[in-house]
Amino acid sequence: MHNKISLIISREFFTRIRKKSFIIMTILGPLLFAAVIIGPTWFATMEDREVRVIGVIDSSRLFIGKIPETEYLKFEYLESITVDQIRERFPETRYYAVLYIAHIITSSPSAVQLMSDRAPSLNVRMHIANALEKELERQKLAAYDIDNLDEILAAVQTSVNIRTIVWQDDGGEVESHSELAMIVGYIGGFLIYIFIFLFGAQVMRGVIEEKSSRVVEILVSSVRPFQLMMGKIVGIGLVGLTQFLLWVILSFTLITIAQQVFFQDLGTPSSENIVMEDMFSSSRLQPSQPIENEGKEIYREIFSSISAINFGVMLGAFLFYFLGGYLLYASLFASIGSAADSETDTQQFMLPVTIPLILSIIVMTNAIMNPDGPIAFWFSVVPLTSPIIMMARIPFGVPFWEVALSAVLLIGSFVFTTWLAGKIYRTGILMYGKKVNYIELWKWLRY
């Protein structure tokens, strides 16, 4: 029996990995992922090196010389000129945009306009808005006749970085990073969702193709229907696992090579890096602050948060819940394929199977925001939703007994659904031309 199942697994595996679609997707997947990771950084780096000059028309006369400049962002304060006049000859100027500050800025903070012949970048807008806000606050405080105002503002300005420490049972402690855990958990859960749908549908499609071409009649003369179903499920599962591991290896290789070739100086950010200044804190707009040191500290925090994640545990959990979820749903997809003659006929049976998967994606947001809540707990234990929800919770730290309970229920459910699917499969695989409904499936289960 085991020898026959292994032969079917080998047939399914090697037949599918030799297909052009498998080879193309194995190559394109890491390229697209690397492009998503590297592309924005590369474009942002190129954009930062473009020197931009902004003309400033300040009717309030409150901000002349008060907007901090960077290496790539300059400001020129214009006198005796109106917005209409500069608009007429704007193409002839070298200005990136024109900033107009109305005289009513103190009473109407929205009385500021940034005008150009193209949409100004978000980074430039944030830089200007933060600078104007800081200057307005300073001038309003100055109205209280406080001596040494600038020194006082510099002294009281404080940024708070809350570190989260998790106490472990062995007496040790580890620093956690909720933001990165949210990202890793969401990506892990979403990938399992995609893979279950993708490879589970391949199982169903493969069963329908063999059934419609009558190849299955030859196969079942040599092997039992249950052996054929198990071989097909495991074989396609190994294809998906192989493709995923190749994606991980190739993506890591491509990103590492690109970082060494194009971004060697990315680890030492310059003090004039406008993107880092604007994204992390508006307080870095103050010229007196050591922006370079803060930028390096930000990078250290990012690298520290990444290194704090146990990727061995994450990869092991991903492989287990991917395989467990896939085997659970693939058996259901196989039974659906055996009960239908075409993909059109499968629609009535697909809804009960896909509802738990879709519900998992909806609940995953709640699980990420509140990983220890009752909703996250129960959905990470119920086998039909646990592969996605538990994968989203693991980066936050889950008690061992909850993971063990989830794993045992998932394995038990896989065995049970495989037994049920086998009863449907052995009857439906040789049945042609008959419209099957739920009543008919119930009869097959009772045979």
Q: State the chain's mean pLDDT as an integer.
A: 76
**pLDDT (mean) for 67-84:** 85
Hey, what are 158's tokens? 């404080």
Looking at residue 228, its pLDDT comes to 79
Looking at residue 283, its pLDDT comes to 40
Give Cα separations from 251 to 23, 195, 196, 241 (angstroms).
15, 17, 21, 15
- Distance CA(359)–CA(387), nearest Å, equals 12
Q: How confident is the model at residue 52 (pLDDT cuts 50, 70, 90)?
A: confident
Place of tokens 């290896």: 249
Hey, what are 172's tokens? 């040790």
**pLDDT (mean) for 225-236:** 82
What share of the chain in percent tops pLDDT 90?
Answer: 6
Q: How confident is the model at residue 272 (pLDDT cuts 50, 70, 90)?
A: very low
- Distance CA(56)–CA(112), nearest Å, equals 11
Question: Residue 281: is its pLDDT beyond 70?
Answer: no
**Of the given ranges (29-38, 98-107, 306-315), which has the lowest mean pLDDT?**
306-315
338 vs 278, more confident: 338
Give Cα separations from 79 to 62, 85, 99, 426 (angstroms).
14, 12, 13, 87
- Distance CA(310)–CA(316), nearest Å, equals 10
Looking at residue 386, its pLDDT comes to 92
Which range of 144-148, 284-288, 412-416 scores highest in mean pLDDT? It is 412-416
Q: What is the pLDDT of residues 286-334, one digit of tens each?
A: 443 444 444 445 445 555 555 556 667 788 888 899 889 998 998 888 8
Q: How many CA atoms lie within 13 A of 430 on its CB side?
A: 13
Question: Residue 48: is its pLDDT beyond 60?
Answer: no
Burial (CB count within 10 angstroms: exposed 0-12, middle 13-18, buried 19+), residue 434: exposed
370 contacts: CB under 8 Å, gap ≥ 6: 376
338 touches 428 (CB < 8 A): yes
b/e code 345-380 from CB counts within 10 Å (16+ = b): ebeebbeebbebbebbbebbeebbeebeeeebbebb
Q: What is the pTM of this model?
A: 0.64
314 vs 173, more confident: 314
Q: Within its chain, how far is the Cα of 321 from the centroid?
A: 18
Burial (CB count within 10 angstroms: exposed 0-12, middle 13-18, buried 19+), residue 153: middle
Q: How confident is the model at residue 388 (pLDDT cuts 50, 70, 90)?
A: very high
Looking at residue 286, its pLDDT comes to 43
Q: What is the pLDDT of residues 113-143, one digit of tens each?
A: 888 887 777 788 888 888 888 888 877 777 7
440 touches 240 (CB < 8 A): no
**pLDDT (mean) for 64-77:** 85
**Of the given ranges (20-24, 139-143, 146-150, 412-416), which has the lowest mean pLDDT?**
146-150
Question: Residue 408: is its pLDDT beyond 90?
Answer: yes
- Distance CA(301)–CA(311), nearest Å, equals 18
| DSSP 8-state secondary structure symbol assigned to residue 164 | E
Looking at residue 423, its pLDDT comes to 79
Looking at residue 42, its pLDDT comes to 63
- Distance CA(211)–CA(234), nearest Å, equals 19
DSSP code string of 102-143 = -TTTTT-TT-EEEE-SSPPPHHHHHHHHHHHHHHHHHHHHHT
- Distance CA(10)–CA(197), nearest Å, equals 22
Domains of the chain, by residue range, sit at 2-39+176-446, 51-155
Looking at residue 98, its pLDDT comes to 87
Class at the top of the CATH hierarchy for domain 51-155: alpha beta
Question: Residue 187: is its pLDDT beyond 50?
Answer: yes
Which range of 208-212, 256-260, 389-393 scores highest in mean pLDDT? It is 389-393
Looking at residue 128, its pLDDT comes to 87
* Residue in 434, 441, 210, 443 with CA at minimum distance from that of residue 335: 441
Single-letter amino acid, residue 199 = F
CB atoms within 10 A of CB 388: 27
Q: What is the pLDDT of residues 54-69, one digit of tens each?
A: 888 888 888 888 888 8
Q: How confident is the model at residue 166 (pLDDT cuts 50, 70, 90)?
A: low
- Distance CA(192)–CA(319), nearest Å, equals 9
